[in-house]
Amino acid sequence: MATLSSSRLVDAQQARLKQRMLRVDACDTLPLTLRHERIYILPTTRGLAFLGVVLVMILASMNYGLNLGYALSFMMVGLFASCLLGTFMNLTQLVVQSVNATDAYAGQALTFAVTLTDTRGKHRHSVSVSADGAHDRIDINANHNGVAVLRVADNQRGLVNLGRITFSSDFPLGLWRGWGYVHTPISAYVYPLPEADAPALADDNSEKGDAATRRSDEREFKQLKRYQETDSPSSVAWKQVARGGGWYSKEFETEAQNRSNTIRWIDTPPHASIELRLSRMCAWVLNANASSTHYDFEMPGVSKSRQNGHENLQECLRHLAIYNPDQKSG
């Protein structure tokens, strides 16, 4: 029992050390200040070459008794040490203010905006920000914000986590590289790519035949809209057609208020692939939102009734983005 407890204690200590050094878990909360315990510094390849040159100069000065060579070598060592401080000061006390994500469609690049703030009245030069293969380099003016834009490409449908963000700099002379990690839980949605030629949905409340003709005089005319195959022949603006103005249908005030479509998973082709069915529903949702149509939205595990607007659109698209094909479907 004692051996087991000791093993667990060692594992816990190793996990804490790994988290402190590498920030493997998304536990950081923003805003966050890069302090000395988060910043690591090592010589770059250029810095190692610089040290090699200094070493050769010192050996040559010792061999030939060159006092001027000693002085120049010590000056170069001082320059090397001062660059270490400059690199550290370029990163320390830099505040990671926020990370904002922009959703995208499958195949498009996701955009993450990382906002950095200087609170020490110091201009920050060439701060590099990278994560998940994306990279940006920015300068930050004293007591101002700077925004690094990370574009993560080649995304598939689902929820994409940005992961650990690396902040680094080799300013001023590239002899040292300082870096620090921030890992905050930030993610973005990748929606299904909407189907290009998705069939239109019929209006649930559309009226056809003589009933629509009898009631048309009782409704207040609102506007003309593009004719669709699901529109009743009685609603066609025949005068507009006769004048060669194209095919339009009459839309009345009550229709604009009561019109509602139902976007359902079971109305997609049952034998089509999961991605095609999601793409069709995505196109239906976008078309309904563009025409300001209130619509019902139904898919496995989700049921929303007669809503519209940007927030509802975003919510429906996110349901499509995270849909699990293993769920029971119609």
Q: Which of 145, 166, 190 is the last residue of a domain?
A: 190
Instruction: Evaluate whether residue 312 is within a structural domain.
Output: yes
Q: For residue 105, is pLDDT > 90?
A: yes
Q: What pLDDT was estimated at residue 225?
A: 64
Q: Which of 132, 164, 190 is the last residue of a domain?
A: 190
pLDDT digits 0-9 by tens, 134-178: 999 999 999 999 999 999 987 889 999 999 999 999 999 999 999
Q: Are strands 260-264 and 294-299 parallel, antiparallel or unpaired?
A: parallel
Do residues 185 and 322 share a domain?
no
Do residues 108 and 198 share a domain?
no
Contacts with 152 (C-beta within 8 Å, 6 or more apart), sequence order: 109, 110, 112, 131, 132, 133, 134, 160, 162
Q: Which comes out higher in pLDDT, residue 205 or 281? A: 281
pLDDT digits 0-9 by tens, 70-85: 999 999 999 999 999 9
Instruction: Enter the pTM of the model.
Output: 0.76
Do residues 129 and 41 share a domain?
yes
Instruction: Evaluate whether residue 70 is within a structural domain.
Output: yes
Do residues 88 and 153 share a domain?
yes
Q: Domain of 296? A: 192-205+259-330
Cα–Cα dist 125/50, whole Å? 22
Q: For residue 220, is pLDDT > 60?
A: no
Instruction: Evaluate whether residue 45 is within a structural domain.
Output: yes
Do residues 145 and 201 share a domain?
no
pLDDT digits 0-9 by tens, 44-63: 999 999 999 999 999 999 99
Instruction: Evaluate whether residue 9 is within a structural domain.
Output: no
Number of structural domains (the chain) is 2
Q: Which two tokens stand for residue 273?
A: 């692939």
Helices (H) and strands (E) in the chain, counts: 8, 17
User: Residue 130: enclosing H or E segment and its boundaries?
Assistant: strand 124-131
Bridge partners (DSSP) of residue 166 are 130, 181
Transcribe 208-253 into DSSP letters. Answer: -HHHHHHHHTTSPEEEEEE--TTS-GGGB-HHHHHTT---EEEEEH
Do residues 50 and 182 share a domain?
yes
Do residues 180 and 318 share a domain?
no
Q: What pLDDT was estimated at residue 327?
A: 56
Do residues 158 and 77 share a domain?
yes
pLDDT digits 0-9 by tens, 286-320: 998 888 888 889 998 888 887 778 889 999 999 99
Instruction: Evaluate whether residue 292 is within a structural domain.
Output: yes
